[in-house]
Chains A and B, each alone.
Chain A
């Protein structure tokens, strides 16, 4: 069964003067434990799709089911609860909480979102710190570590809640190419270790090659789906 199923999704934005069609009749399905990338030029609709999947926005029409839930019908509180339960987020600018240490940033969703018991919390954070190789930086604050390290922490924060799906919008945009590959590699390893589905958007053609499933977008339309090995549809 698909983890995500989108049927005839459209998303329009009303500006002061015109209606912008961000997505037009988009259909796709994503299987569990996939490593997926949405690619396309700026304004093609990558971020819009990730926002819809992430329950941060609602489609103008069509149906989007994530983890067997019609996310378009969720209210504000339900959306937040759904995100906390099923989703993890990795942001382009890392978006770590500056007043919390590396350890506390990873701990944050376990306390503030999922209310996990202290011992289990400790175990999960230790494991995540080891996985992202940040155990020796655990007590540093975000401003004391590098961009690549910040994104590793962000990956750990996204995965510590055991989400079914991690969404990463341009996760490598603010990283040098070597660090970008390292972060994508880490994400892939996490997918292998935890069976979590990763969906990331990028316009970096080299990074795109790391994805196993690639959806190409142009002007809000899904123009192609490629799977590893060259298969196109």
Chain B
């Protein structure tokens, strides 16, 4: 086997310029894909991180049917008493969960005493909530995130539009589950930038204020936001939790709860998917580059070495070994291109990080681009290149092995 490699490498060196050009093409392709994967992957990770760590959590549990009606934030679909206890007991028993936080979501009117506008409010227990969405305080543009009873965190859109700043008194008016209206005066503690885009009008109040405002006698919860210890375990754990929740039935024998991961709850998942699709097509382009360039070189190599093939066949080299010689040549070119491409690609990623490039995402300004490459990315791309190089060599190699030695020896 070593001899096959020795001969292959020498044959590659024999046509230095052509080998160099082909290897360069593969190298450029690998570098391009690695940099693309690292940058878009990092962008995607940051985007997902922003959404899950500052707003949604990794996953949410609601009463069955709540998400389908989420636009109206129906209070009559809140979880109550027994369901809350059952669910919390179940969540407490899951070692994969780092933290979970109960929320009450409701719509209301926001007034600065001269103007009124609509607002979507999430009532939280701040201590528990910040464990689930630790980046929420980072969204603060003014004031404090210390959400005590009697204060409110309002969205930037309302603060700007209604000229409200931290320390100002505002009134929240909301309709409770019975249809009666109630109002409560709160003080603006802080202003949050929107995590849902320019139209976002989401604010936060303390759970105690929500109970008072909505006249809830017993504890009620619209949703539980959950943070996992390992975000990479999301798919597996959501499957497990989904199965456990499916066993929780109401008196009619129907499921009480429904589970949604962030992917089902955020439109940004489509952007993440688009990034994946773009990455896929970039990889397809790399495959095409490697396939065409290696195949071209190997076809040329076979054509130029017909007499040589005739000679080695005449002295008794079996067709399979002749085939292997050319496949190993393509393999070597793929390996060389992949390794050099990997090294340059990693170097470019390091340089990008050293340069400290910044970009904007939605309302988030000046986010640092932290390009990162997983060893699995490098490995997968390298393996793809090498496999494609071998596949591209197959046809010329088979052609070489099928040559009749007598005809090959006659070739001029």
Which of A's residues lie within 8 Å of B, judged by CB?
Answer: 51, 54, 56-57, 76-77, 80-85, 87-89, 91, 93, 95, 97-100, 108-109, 111-114, 157-158, 161
A-B contact pairs, 9 of them (CB 8 A): A57-B406, A76-B319, A80-B319, A81-B316, A83-B315, A99-B7, A99-B14, A113-B317, A158-B315
Q: Contacting chain A: which of B82-90, B91-99, B267-275, B305-313?
A: B305-313
Interface secondary structure of B, over-half rule:
helix
Given contacts A56-B314, A95-B307, 9 further A-B contacts (CB under 8 A): A57-B406, A77-B319, A80-B313, A84-B315, A89-B315, A95-B310, A95-B409, A99-B14, A100-B10
Please tell me which one of the listed residues A84, A95, A98, A158 contacts residue B317 in the complex, with CB atoms under 8 A apart.
Answer: A84
Q: How far, in angstroms, from A54 to B308 measured CA to CA in the complex?
A: 17
Q: How far, in angstroms, from A57 to B313 measured CA to CA in the complex?
A: 13
Q: How far, in angstroms, from A34 to B315 measured CA to CA in the complex?
A: 21
Which of B's residues lie within 8 Å of A, judged by CB?
Answer: 3, 7, 10-11, 13-14, 307-308, 310-319, 321, 404-406, 409
Residues of chain A within 8 A of B7, CB atoms compared: 97, 99-100
Residues of chain B within 8 A of A83, CB atoms compared: 314-316
Q: How far, in angstroms, from A191 to B277 measured CA to CA in the complex?
A: 70
CB distance from B404 to the nearest CB of A (A): 8
Which of B10, B317, B321, B405 has the most chain A CB atoms inside 10 A of its CB?
Answer: B405
Q: How far, in angstroms, from A157 to B311 measured CA to CA in the complex?
A: 12
Q: How far, in angstroms, from A97 to B7 measured CA to CA in the complex?
A: 10
Residues of chain B within 8 A of A113, CB atoms compared: 315-318
A85, B316: Cβ atoms closer than 8 Å: yes
Q: How far, in angstroms, from A161 to B317 measured CA to CA in the complex?
A: 13
B314, A54: Cβ atoms closer than 8 Å: yes
Residues of chain B within 8 A of A157, CB atoms compared: 315
Residues of chain A within 8 A of B321, CB atoms compared: 112
Closest 8 CB pairs of A and B: A84-B316, A99-B10, A95-B311, A83-B316, A113-B316, A56-B406, A111-B3, A80-B318
Residues of chain B within 8 A of A108, CB atoms compared: 312, 315
In the complex, which residue of chain B has the Cβ closest to the Cβ of A157? B315
Q: How far, in angstroms, from A84 to B406 measured CA to CA in the complex?
A: 15
Q: How far, in angstroms, from A113 to B315 measured CA to CA in the complex?
A: 8
CB distance from B279 to the nearest CB of A (A): 39
Q: How far, in angstroms, from A105 to B10 measured CA to CA in the complex?
A: 13
The answer to whether A99 and B11 touch (CB under 8 A), given A51-B406, A111-B3, is: yes
Residues of chain A within 8 A of B307, CB atoms compared: 93, 95
A112, B311: Cβ atoms closer than 8 Å: no
Please tell me which one of the listed residues B3, B11, B310, B404 contacts residue A112 in the complex, with CB atoms under 8 A apart.
Answer: B3
CB distance from A67 to the nearest CB of B (A): 14
Q: How far, in angstroms, from A92 to B319 measured CA to CA in the complex?
A: 24
A89, B14: Cβ atoms closer than 8 Å: no
A109, B14: Cβ atoms closer than 8 Å: no
Q: How far, in angstroms, from A83 to B10 measured CA to CA in the complex?
A: 26
Please tell me which one of the listed residues B13, B308, B313, B405 contacts residue A97 in the complex, with CB atoms under 8 A apart.
Answer: B308
CB distance from A144 to the nearest CB of B (A): 14
CB distance from B322 to the nearest CB of A (A): 9
A109, B315: Cβ atoms closer than 8 Å: yes
The answer to whether A91 and B311 touch (CB under 8 A), given A77-B318, A100-B7, is: yes
In the complex, which residue of chain A has the Cβ closest to the Cβ of B307? A95
Q: How far, in angstroms, from A161 to B14 measured CA to CA in the complex?
A: 27
A112, B409: Cβ atoms closer than 8 Å: no
CB distance from B408 to the nearest CB of A (A): 10
Residues of chain B within 8 A of A54, CB atoms compared: 314
The answer to whether A112 and B317 touch (CB under 8 A), given A98-B14, A99-B7, A100-B10, is: yes
